[in-house]
Structure formats: structure tokens, C-alpha cells
């Protein structure tokens, strides 16, 4: 049963409903919330935190330090899509901001994104320029997956020094995204979504527990004519995979489940057969490569061992499918 706390209705219209899903990320969540409250000046907003069954004291921290936020305790891990859908259904804003708990919002970021949406009525989703903690660019917009670019990514052809469009993988279409522009896919780590567009296309597909829900939603927006835009002037820092690092092997399995689900949804049985083959090839090749690196680079064995465990877990899952369709990671 959902536990609703600190839900106070306001008379004034809300511009932005900021929804943050958290699973055992108390420190990141605190930092994220502090920056949200400190950096939004031009728009009225509400904050909704969906706690997915954390055991690190996150709900108590939100209650104590951020009583103005709405806290929803799901009681269990509903996944990224399922938890965000609960937040969306409780929201009152003209826009929904879906922000990962390990995001640091920079000054003016959300104000800039919402101001852009107010001027561009055909835009359904916007996302900011995402930086790594060292301030380098973190890729956050991608091309549509195709049979070709998925295959060359799996085989590692995209890493060869070939100056041809034929070597571009799904993740490299916008590798030098240095200007505000329309894109195929925006990373789901930070979205601002127009309410009426989501009313039209529907909520996030909760068949994607964690991984590839961003590809799915952006695809659905494009199919009905809404634009998806990357805004280079707005900036946020993404630490990345803070929850998934708790159990990286289970995370990679769920991510690849989402990958297969995407191909099932848009390419049918033929697509499932193809992408299953591609995923297997990619992890077999990575397992071989990481085994060699483990033997010849003793100083890096700790990091390589984690990658080997992930490759092994994925291959084991293919050979001995888990009975549970959903795993506890976010």
C-alpha cells in the first residue's frame, strides 16, 4: 500500500512537478533536493519523491530535511517506469521533470528548460547538457537503434579507425552534440515533459523495469509528431548508476531485458531473435576480452573482475532464465 506523506495542496498553479525516484541513494538524494530548491527561481514547482523500498533511511531523511516535498513510499521496488508513473499521476504541474536522484542541477537549468518549452509548443520533451563529475561531456542523446548500428556496436566495429558513416553505432550519432537541436533519443536521467503530450501518448511503459524506457518514450513521442530536443545551454551533472552499483550484475540483466523488450515492441519476433543474438555476441566478446585483460593487467584486476561478473551473469541468465521477471535494482 502506498504511504502518502506531506501532501499539501497549493492554491496557485504549479508550473513544474519534479519527480525523483530513489532506491538507497540517501546522500545523492539529499544533494539533488538541495540544489533543486536552490536553483529554481522563475517557475512555481512541487517536488515529489518516490521511494522504492529503500533501506538506507532515505524516507526519514526526506521527511526531516524536506518537509515541503511530497513523499510517496511504494513499499517495494516498482522500477523506474512504475515509480515515475505514480509520481506523474499525483502531479499538478504543466510540466513533469523526471530527474534521477544522482543528478546535480546547475543554476538556471530547470528555469531555462521550462522557458524553452513555453516558447516551443511542438516540443514534447527536453533535456539538458549532461556532464560527468569531472565536467567532461556525458553522452545523453542517441540515435534510433537499427539492425546495422546495433550489430556494429556489438562487434566493436564502431571503435575501429574507419572514417565512414557505416561505423557509427547507436550511441555515436550525437557524440559531438554541441548545440541545441532535435534528437532521436534523450537519456532518461533528466527529462522535462509537457503534460499534454504525455496525456496523448500515455505514461511510461512499465514493461521496462529499468533500462530502455527512455528509448521507448522518445520513440512514442516522435511517432505522434512531438519533438524531442537537447538544450545545450542548460547544464546538469550526472554521477551515474549510484543505485545499480549496489548490485551491478542484476542491473545488467534488467537493462538487457529492457533492450529485448524494445525490439519486441517495435520489431516483433524477428527483432527479438536478432537482438538476442547481438546481445549474446557482444557479451561473449567482452567476456573473452576481459579475461585476457584480467591475465595481462594485474593492477586493474579489481575493476576487470566486476566487468567479468556482469558478462558472466548476463550469459548465465540467457542459458538459465530467471523465473522472476523483475529484479530489485534502480
What pLDDT score was predicted for residue 241?
63
What pLDDT score was predicted for residue 249?
75
Whether 167 and 25 share a structural domain: no
Rounded Cα distance, 177 and 127, in Å: 12
Q: Does residue 80 sit within a domain?
A: yes
Q: Are strands 123-131 and 227-238 parallel, antiparallel or unpaired?
A: parallel
Q: Does residue 216 sit within a domain?
A: yes
Whether 130 and 151 share a structural domain: no
Whether 160 and 182 share a structural domain: no
187's CB contacts (< 8 A; 6+ apart) are: 127, 130, 139, 140, 141, 142, 214
Q: In the listed set 238, 258, 275, which residue is the last one of a domain according to the structure?
A: 238
Residue 235 Cα to chain centre, angstroms: 16
What pLDDT score was predicted for residue 136?
92
Q: Does residue 67 sit within a domain?
A: yes
Placement of cell 515529489 in the chain: 48
What pLDDT score was predicted for residue 316?
84
Instruction: Please name which of 175, 149, 158 lies closest in space to residue 263, comparing C-alpha atoms.
Output: 149
Which stretches does DSSP call E strand in the chain?
A: 3-5, 16-22, 45-51, 70-73, 95-99, 103-105, 123-131, 141-142, 181-182, 185-186, 190-194, 227-238
Whether 290 and 167 share a structural domain: no
Q: Does residue 131 sit within a domain?
A: yes
Instruction: Please name which of 90, 100, 95 lies closest in space to residue 69, comparing C-alpha atoms.
Output: 90
Whether 261 and 280 share a structural domain: yes
Whether 101 and 203 share a structural domain: yes
Q: Does residue 330 sit within a domain?
A: no
pLDDT along the chain (330 residues), means of 10: 44 87 93 97 97 92 96 90 95 96 96 96 96 93 91 79 61 80 95 95 92 95 96 94 64 89 96 94 91 92 88 83 44
Whether 212 and 229 share a structural domain: yes
Q: What is the CATH number of the domain that holds 72?
A: 3.90.550.10
Q: In the listed set 238, 273, 292, which residue is the last one of a domain according to the structure?
A: 238
Residue 223 Cα distances to 194, 208, 322, angstroms: 16, 19, 33
Q: Are strands 185-186 and 141-142 parallel, antiparallel or unpaired?
A: antiparallel
Please list the residues that pair with 238 across neighbouring strands: 103
All three cell numbers of 112? 531555462
Are 190 and 127 spatial neighbours (Cβ–Cβ below 8 Å)?
Answer: yes
pTM for the model: 0.86
Q: In the listed set 185, 212, 238, which residue is the last one of a domain according to the structure?
A: 238
Whether 45 and 132 share a structural domain: yes
Residue 87 phi/psi, 5° resolution? -65, -40
Residue 259 Cα distances to 142, 191, 266, 279, 295, angstroms: 14, 20, 11, 9, 31
All three cell numbers of 55? 533501506
Residue 5: Cβ-neighbour burial (10 angstroms; 0-12, 13-18, 19+)? middle
Q: Does residue 328 sit within a domain?
A: no
Whether 222 and 315 share a structural domain: no
Q: Does residue 160 sit within a domain?
A: yes
Quick one: CA dihedral 83, 58, 186, 274, positive or negative? negative
Q: Does residue 45 sit within a domain?
A: yes
Instruction: Please name which of 263, 51, 240 lies closest in space to residue 154, comparing C-alpha atoms.
Output: 263
All three cell numbers of 116? 524553452
- What is the SS3 assignment for 170? coil
Segments forming the whole domain that contains residue 280: 247-319
What pLDDT score was predicted for residue 4?
44
Whether 187 and 157 share a structural domain: no
Whether 107 and 61 share a structural domain: yes
Whether 30 and 178 share a structural domain: yes
Domain count, the chain: 3
What pLDDT score was predicted for residue 327?
38
Residue 237: Cβ-neighbour burial (10 angstroms; 0-12, 13-18, 19+)? buried
Amino acid at each position: 500500500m502506498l504511504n502518502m506523506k506531506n501532501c499539501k495542496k497549493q492554491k496557485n498553479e504549479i508550473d513544474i512537478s519534479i519527480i525523483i525516484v530513489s532506491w538507497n541513494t540517501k546522500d545523492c538524494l539529499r544533494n539533488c533536493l538541495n540544489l533543486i530548491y536552490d536553483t529554481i527561481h522563475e517557475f512555481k514547482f512541487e517536488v515529489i519523491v518516490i521511494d522504492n523500498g529503500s533501506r538506507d533511511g532515505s524516507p526519514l531523511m526526506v521527511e526531516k530535511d524536506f518537509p515541503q516535498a511530497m513523499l510517496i513510499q511504494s513499499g517495494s521496488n516498482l522500477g523506474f517506469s512504475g515509480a515515475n508513473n505514480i509520481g506523474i499521476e499525483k502531479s499538478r504541474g504543466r510540466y513533469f521533470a523526471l530527474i534521477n536522484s544522482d543528478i546535480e542541477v546547475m543554476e538556471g537549468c530547470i528555469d531555462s528548460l521550462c522557458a524553452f518549452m513555453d516558447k516551443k509548443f511542438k516540443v514534447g520533451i527536453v533535456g539538458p547538457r549532461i556532464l560527468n563529475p569531472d565536467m567532461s561531456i556525458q553522452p545523453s542523446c542517441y540515435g534510433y537503434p537499427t539492425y546495422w548500428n546495433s550489430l556494429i556496436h556489438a562487434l566493436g566495429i564502431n571503435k575501429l579507425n574507419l572514417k565512414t558513416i557505416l561505423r557509427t553505432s547507436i550511441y555515436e550519432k550525437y557524440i559531438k552534440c554541441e548545440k541545441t537541436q532535435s534528437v532521436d533519443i534523450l537519456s532518461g536521467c533528466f527529462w522535462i515533459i509537457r503534460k499534454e503530450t504525455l496525456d496523448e501518448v500515455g505514461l511510461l511503459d512499465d514493461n521496462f523495469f529499468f533500462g530502455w524506457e527512455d528509448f521507448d518514450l522518445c520513440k512514442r513521442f516522435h511517432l505522434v509528431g512531438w519533438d524531442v530536443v537537447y538544450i545545450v545551454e542548460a547544464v546538469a551533472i550526472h554521477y551515474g548508476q549510484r543505485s545499480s552499483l549496489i548490485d551491478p550484475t542484476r542491473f545488467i540483466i534488467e537493462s538487457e531485458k529492457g533492450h529485448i523488450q524494445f525490439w519486441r515492441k517495435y520489431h516483433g519476433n524477428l527483432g527479438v531473435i536478432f537482438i538476442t543474438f547481438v546481445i549474446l555476441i557482444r557479451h561473449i566478446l567482452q567476456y573473452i576480452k576481459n579475461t585476457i585483460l584480467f591475465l595481462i593487467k594485474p593492477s586493474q584486476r579489481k575493476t576487470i573482475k566486476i566487468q567479468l561478473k556482469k558478462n558472466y551473469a548476463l550469459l548465465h541468465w540467457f542459458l538459465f532464465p530467471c523465473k522472476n521477471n523483475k529484479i530489485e535494482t534502480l
